[in-house]
Amino acid sequence: MRSSIHIVDVDRIETWSRYRNGLCDTCMANCCTMPVEVKLPDLVRLGLVDPFEAEHEEARQISKRLIKAGIAERYHHKSEIYTLSRRADGDCRFLDASTRRCTVYEQRPATCRKHPQVGPRPGFCPYGPRQERR
């Protein structure tokens, strides 16, 4: 099930807006509904994997634990990329549902830090303006 807040179709990149500074200030965080792909250093920074575990455990063992715990949806062995699980409404597990702001902003994954410079349509984002609540 997808969140009812979507203004644009994040899966259709032709509906995305050209990114400009300050755009995030008035956005509903539509980018936070896309799958979040992370690497092991991101998981350590987020506190989901202990540094000792990251150094001494095989990535497949770590992935099994994260998938079983519902933290990750899947792990791609060749690229060593984990896909984080999302909430039932499709939002990122770290997105505050009421404020639509990241709860782990300082520790956020590299993929989030680099958005929208990298991604499916570099320089564009799935901007959706905040709607006044009635």
Q: Are 27 and 127 in contact (CB under 8 A)?
A: yes
pLDDT of residue 3: 46
Tell me the pLDDT band of 7, cut-offs 50, 70 and 90.
Answer: low
Q: H or E stretch including 53?
A: helix 51-56
Helix/strand/coil for 71: coil
Q: Which of 73, 77, 63 is nearest to 93 (CA)?
A: 73
Average pLDDT over residues 72-86: 96
Tell me the pLDDT band of 1, cut-offs 50, 70 and 90.
Answer: very low
Helix/strand/coil for 105: helix
Tell me the pLDDT band of 114, cut-offs 50, 70 and 90.
Answer: very high
Average pLDDT over residues 71-91: 95
Q: Which two tokens stand for residue 109?
A: 């994954």
Rg (CA), the chain: 16
pLDDT at 2 over 50: no
Q: Are 111 and 66 in contact (CB under 8 A)?
A: no
pLDDT of residue 134: 46
pLDDT of residue 9: 82
Residues 38 and 42: their CA atoms lie apart, in Å, by 6
pLDDT of residue 94: 97
Intra-chain end-to-end CA distance of the chain, in Å: 24
